[in-house]
Structure 1
Amino acid sequence: MKPDDCSYQIYLNLLKEELIPATGCTEPISVAYAAAMAREVLGVLPDTCTIEASGNIIKNVKSVVVPNTGGLKGIAAAAVAGIVAGDASKKLEVLGAIEEAAKSQIKEYLKAHTVTVLPAHNDIVFFIAATVKKGNDEATVVIEYEHTNIVQIVRNGETQFEKGDGSAEGGGLTDRNSLNVKDILDFADSVRLEDIAEIIERQVTYNCAVSEEGLKHDWGANIGKVLLKAYGNDIRTRARAAAAAGSDARMSGCEKPVVIVSGSGNQGMTASLPVIEYAKALHVSREKLYRALVLSNLTTIYQKAGIGRLSAYCGAVSAGCGAGAGIAYLHGGGYEEIAHTIVNALAITSGIVCDGAKPSCAAKISSAVDAGILGYHMYQNKQQFFGGDGIVTKGVDATIRNVGVLAKDGMRQTDRQIIDIMLNRTSSKQSAGNES
């Protein structure tokens, strides 16, 4: 693939667009960004704040610690952090530079002011509307489909900004329809290092720092540490532990930024850290590592393109497959090895559900990475899953499409049920039924 090819530019743009820093889990950070922007539009510290959010946002914010808040969780905490101390100009790093004194101000504001959280009355999977009021003045900022995709800004009933048809699903992101495994591998092999070195090196630096934090200190359920203690220090375990430890820290409020993939820090760490660990063990060149990470990241982005930003399907599965592809590449694998690795891995872990961001994400990441590694070793041992085995069909791209349909359409009701369970709606319905 040549630099002046259209596909080359598309794939390069995807990396620039998707591999960006974020401080904290991206859904609460998106809430904080919307609230910080609304406060900026209002021009003063508001008396009240109302957040309308889709079920998937509520699901992904409910149980995760918001960074730089002193351990607070939930939508109200994320919104107030954005209002009181957020810097909207930094987007997904909106809460990245909060000083210690501001943390107490966030808690004081939460105690003294009303923050209302309401379910959104629409079918948009990713929806946040932040409305802030001070006296007779109010401002609303609406985000749809993607974490920083503001589609509307309104102040005192007057629309200051509104996206037209470009606000449809995808949020104006680079078109993903041309993605396929063969071209992704071609791009990884041929991309000029100067075009991707800064992007990939930032991913290595940021994500390794968070992983090290997770292994050194007490975060979440300490899955990374447990893996090393229980299973030893072989490369397969180290690869799983590195990614899990990053999630341990991040889900529990670690204030270090990570480089995300497809809107998710957990996916960004899962797609990168196992590949980095294998690169160390195999003593490959920096160039080989960069190209393997390009492959892993784009493979993850490709799978998520058919699923969407949020779903009942665990995104770590997609990233674990990406990591498996990157590991196969580090071992000298070509298209056949990589394609079989992806299909095998998808057949193993595509049943993992997403029940929001929280400490158990680290354990799911470990399983997803393990499936990616096993998928590669299956091929090495002349074993594979065949078309017709469950959701697996002939060809890696066709199997990826099947998974996209399963995750986006087939698991829609599963997603609703998960949200009901998390919000205790199911027990309420059962009680009502029992009473009748």
Structure 2
Amino acid sequence: MGIYQDIIAAEVFPALGCTEPIAVAYAASLAAAQLNGTPEEITVLVDPGVYKNGFAVTVPETGGLKGNVIAAALGALISRPQLKMEILSGSSPELLGRAVEMVAAGKVEVLLAQERTSLYIEATVRSGDSVARAVLEGGHTDLVHLECDGRLLVHAEAGGTATGHPYRTALKEMTFTQILELLDEIGPEDLDYLKRGVEMNLRVAEAGKQLVKVGHYVEELVRKGFLLADVVSSSKILTASASDARMAGLSYPVMSSGGSGNQGIVAILVPYNVGLFFHIPEERILRSIALSHIVNAYIKCHTGELAPICGCAIAAGVGAAVAIVYQQAGSDLHKIDLAVNTIISDLGGMLCDGAKGGCALKVVSSTDAAIRAAYMALVGHGITEEEGFVGKHAEETIRNLSRISAVGMAKVDQTMLGIMLEKRSERAGSGGD
């Protein structure tokens, strides 16, 4: 299996709900499945990124409930880890009722592991005198440790860093010339899988259009004449509606990218909709989407799995911009450099303050910036190394962005988490959730 297939297998998969609380549910399910009895107590330890992304997002199959706590309870009670990131499709009204009772009784807690710098989820589930523990590390479905009553069932080397998967070490060092060569690995089955992702995310977008949220308001601006009825607006409506559906907890799986559903929405639907508008042949559109996934993964090798900056903007948005350039200019490296430099210069400082309804606004900004950067590049215009932190080539700009994220913004996540924890304490003190 080549690097392209490794990327797709690890980072592009269907997910029902926001990937962080769903990964919490999956970890709890892995532990609970080792027990003979019904889960009675659940403790989950998570890294700051998972804590942040599960703070305010609605969890599917919960009737509108939010957060990692209800996800952990429901995942443990479902106890069907074979469902992986679609674990909540195994829910039922009875299981939800029991999960709510466990949470209300204080039998479920999610704790912050402030020292963890990459994705980490440790779920401990108790039933009577039995206890089981499952640990995911480095990726949303990467099981590195599983034990029950002191018996070791699984133990593997943890990723623990942005280069935890073996392919990431090679991908991180690639040039865009080499990245483009990965498209040669794509076969008919790969194209079918890419098309499945398009169809899946289009269904989510259609469901989201029924909600009176961000996608609805962008569409209203078009109807009232404040925005043009063009491919940029239709793309923003499409992606915002899909994000609205995810963040509202609608029970529709999405095809993720880089392990993120919202990033999957941008990485897939933006090049798809633009390609349709320009009558690009379907196979070339699908190959451009493959390139979008690869670029998204490449950037996250540099910035990390869950960075302080918004992945929809500086990873998936960049992937979408490169895909649009590829559709019309092929492997023109100068134009790809311009597109990457322009969108990162534009959106490089957008913060990630966790998954929530407002993510659809960031998806809109990412969509708009990706198309604009690609259009500018296609006619030979864009931000160059003469400006700010932008490098001469795309690779250098991405490395610079990584330095800014890791070093210059080192305290951003800590500060945002402090604010979130204060808000939670205030709500608890006033009788809220």
TM-score for the superposition, normalised by structure 2: 0.90
Q: What residue in structure 1 maps to residue 210 of structure 2? A: 216
Q: What residue in structure 1 maps to residue 363 of structure 2? A: 365
- Match of 2:181, as an amino acid? D
CA–CA distance in 1 between the matches of 2:355 and 2:215?
A: 13
Moved more, 282-291 or 381-390: 381-390
Moved more, 359-368 or 229-238: 229-238
Matched, 1:149 2:134: no
Matched, 1:396 2:394: yes
CA–CA distance in 1 between the matches of 2:425 and 2:22?
A: 30
Change in Cα spacing, 1:405 to 1:322, as seen in structure 2 (3 Å) is same
Matched, 1:160 2:153: yes
Matched, 1:308 2:304: yes
Unpaired stretches in structure 2, ≥5 consecutive residues: 427-433
Alignment match of 2:335 (pick from 330, 334, 337): 337
CA–CA distance in 2 between the matches of 1:163 and 1:173?
A: 13
Please list, as runs of the form range in 1=range in 2, the aligned pairs for 1:67-146 lying within 5 A after superposition: 67-112=60-105, 114-120=107-113, 122-146=115-139
Secondary structure in 2 matching 1:367? helix
Please list, as runs of the form range in 1=range in 2, the aligned pairs for 1:346-357 lying within 5 A after superposition: 346-357=344-355
Q: What residue in structure 1 maps to residue 317 of structure 2? A: 320
- Match of 1:323, as an amino acid? A
Superposition deviation, residue 113 in structure 1? 5.4
Q: What residue in structure 2 maps to residue 44 of structure 1? A: 37
CA–CA distance in 2 between the matches of 1:119 and 1:26?
A: 17
User: Could you report, residue by residue, the CA deviation over 1:321-361 in whole angstroms, capped at 9, with x for unpaired residues?
Assistant: 11111112223353222221111111100010000000111
Secondary structure in 1 matching 2:329? coil
Moved more, 96-105 or 135-144: 96-105
Superposition deviation, residue 125 in structure 1? 2.9
CA–CA distance in 1 between the matches of 2:416 and 2:372?
A: 29
Count of aligned pairs: 420
**Contact 1:222–1:248 (8 Å) recurs in 2:** no
Alignment match of 1:290 (pick from 286, 289, 299): 286
Superposition deviation, residue 46 in structure 1? 1.8
**Contact 1:152–1:162 (8 Å) recurs in 2:** yes
Change in Cα spacing, 1:421 to 1:152, as seen in structure 2 (3 Å) is same
Moved more, 50-59 or 226-235: 226-235
Secondary structure in 2 matching 1:310? coil
Q: What residue in structure 2 maps to residue 4 of structure 1? A: none
**Contact 1:224–1:242 (8 Å) recurs in 2:** no
Change in Cα spacing, 1:74 to 1:425, as seen in structure 2 (3 Å) is closer
CA–CA distance in 2 between the matches of 1:379 and 1:18?
A: 28
TM-score for the superposition, normalised by structure 1: 0.89
Secondary structure in 2 matching 1:309? coil
Secondary structure in 1 matching 2:152? strand
Unpaired stretches in structure 1, ≥5 consecutive residues: 1-7, 429-436
Q: What residue in structure 2 maps to residue 432 of structure 1? A: none
Alignment match of 2:236 (pick from 216, 237, 240): 240
- Match of 1:136, as an amino acid? D
**Contact 2:280–2:327 (8 Å) recurs in 1:** yes
Secondary structure in 2 matching 1:68? coil
Change in Cα spacing, 1:368 to 1:121, as seen in structure 2 (3 Å) is closer
Change in Cα spacing, 1:169 to 1:319, as seen in structure 2 (3 Å) is closer
CA–CA distance in 2 between the matches of 1:427 and 1:234?
A: 45
Superposition deviation, residue 373 in structure 1? 1.5
User: Could you report, residue by residue, the CA deviation over 1:248-302 in whole angstroms, capped at 9, with x for unpaired residues?
Assistant: 1101101111111111000011111111111221122111111111121111111
Superposition deviation, residue 422 in structure 1? 1.5
**Contact 1:306–1:408 (8 Å) recurs in 2:** no
- Match of 1:258, as an amino acid? V
Secondary structure in 1 matching 2:389? coil
**Contact 1:151–1:167 (8 Å) recurs in 2:** no
Superposition deviation, residue 178 in structure 1? 4.1
CA–CA distance in 2 between the matches of 1:86 and 1:102?
A: 10
Q: What residue in structure 2 maps to residue 5 of structure 1? A: none
CA–CA distance in 1 between the matches of 2:50 and 2:378?
A: 41
**Contact 2:239–2:265 (8 Å) recurs in 1:** yes
Secondary structure in 2 matching 1:296? helix
CA–CA distance in 2 between the matches of 1:127 and 1:363?
A: 27
Superposition deviation, residue 408 in structure 1? 3.0
User: Could you report, residue by residue, the CA deviation over 1:152-198 in whole angstroms, capped at 9, with x for unpaired residues?
Assistant: 2222234332223666654435232343322222333x444415212
**Contact 2:85–2:141 (8 Å) recurs in 1:** yes
CA–CA distance in 1 between the matches of 2:8 and 2:371?
A: 23
CA–CA distance in 1 between the matches of 2:317 and 2:325?
A: 12
Moved more, 259-268 or 124-133: 124-133
Could you tell me the percent identity over the aligned residues?
A: 31
Change in Cα spacing, 1:166 to 1:192, as seen in structure 2 (3 Å) is closer
Alignment match of 1:272 (pick from 268, 274, 280): 268
Secondary structure in 2 matching 1:210? helix
CA–CA distance in 2 between the matches of 1:414 and 1:211?
A: 32
Q: What residue in structure 2 maps to residue 179 of structure 1? A: 174
Q: What residue in structure 2 maps to residue 3 of structure 1? A: none
**Contact 1:85–1:106 (8 Å) recurs in 2:** no
Q: What residue in structure 2 maps to residue 258 of structure 1? A: 254
